[in-house]
Chain A
Amino acid sequence: GVSQNPRHKITKRGQNVTFRCDPISEHNRLYWYRQTLGQGPEFLIYFQGTGAADDSGLPNDRFFAVRPEGSVSTLTIQRTQQEDSAVYLCASSRQTRGFSPLHFGNGTRLTVT
């Protein structure tokens, strides 16, 4: 399945954090979402291969994600703020015309103190 690490991250405000996502190997599409308590996942960015097909969900320029070889992706948050505390979810899917089922990782829970 989709593997994310770390599972939990506690950091102090102002520090940088990086999360990793290993998608299912044959999946071309990779998505990052953010979920806060009681809310549905909120879109951040999605990749088709190595390129970011849509990064309109990134909240500001402190957030960026890469997928340099079209498989593993990392999401980095610079100068973390308390409002960044959330569960960061990664999902992948095959590239087909339209959509195919998503496969989610278990998420990385970020707590900014």
Chain B
Amino acid sequence: KNEVEQSPQNLTAQEGEFITINCSYSVGISALHWLQQHPGGGIVSLFMLSSGKKKHGRLIATINIQEKHSSLHITASHPRDSAVYICAVGGSQGNLIFGKGTKLSVKP
């Protein structure tokens, strides 16, 4: 079993829809990252959180430490949101363990 599991693996949505991507992990962590990877490989850090909730524009990330679960929400989705979204968890030693990613496609 992978230490970081994301669901769904693939997601297709219509423009304007509310989107949720889930991440569950089985290891103790110090922080959880949500990353966005566009075709061509560039990875951008969206959020880093260790508790509660963070919001940036149309993106919201939440984490429940007790349940070892995090969600990334996108409100009013747009075709430019199409990308792979990756959850990564970090332990106290500095290493990060990555999920396999969720491929999101938003259709106009």
How far apart are the CA atoms of A53 and B45 in the complex, in Å? 22
CB neighbours of B101 from chain A (8 A): 39-40
In contact, A40 and B41 (Cβ under 8 angstroms): no
Asked if B83 is at the interface of the complex by the 8 Å CB criterion, the answer is no
Asked if B72 is at the interface of the complex by the 8 Å CB criterion, the answer is no
Asked if B94 is at the interface of the complex by the 8 Å CB criterion, the answer is yes
Given contacts A40-B88, A99-B30, A102-B33, contact A57 B45 (CB under 8 A): no
CB neighbours of A38 from chain B (8 A): 100
Measured between C-beta atoms, what is the minimum distance from B1 to chain A in Å? 15
In contact, A89 and B94 (Cβ under 8 angstroms): no
Give which listed residue, B4, B41, B45, B100, contacts A101 with CB less than 8 A: B45
In contact, B100 and A39 (Cβ under 8 angstroms): yes
Q: Per-position contact with A for B30-46: 1 when CB-CB < 8 Å, else 0?
A: 11010100001111110
Give which listed residue, B42, B43, B48, contacts A99 with CB less than 8 A: B48
CB proximity to A under 8 Å, residues B62-108: 86, 88, 90, 93-101
Q: Per-position contact with B for A87-113: 1 when CB-CB < 8 Å, else 0?
A: 101010000001111111011010000
Asked if B50 is at the interface of the complex by the 8 Å CB criterion, the answer is yes
Which size class do A's interface residues fall under? 20 to 34
Closest to B97 in A: A43
CB neighbours of A39 from chain B (8 A): 100-101
Measured between C-beta atoms, what is the minimum distance from B72 to chain A in Å? 14
CB neighbours of A48 from chain B (8 A): 94
Binding site for B on A (CB under 8 A): 29, 31, 33, 35, 38-43, 46, 48, 53-54, 56-57, 87, 89, 91, 98-104, 106-107, 109
Further 18 A-B residue pairs, CB within 8 A, beyond A31-B96, A100-B48, A103-B45? A39-B100, A40-B4, A40-B98, A40-B101, A41-B86, A41-B96, A42-B98, A43-B97, A46-B95, A56-B95, A57-B95, A98-B50, A99-B33, A102-B43, A104-B44, A104-B45, A106-B40, A106-B41
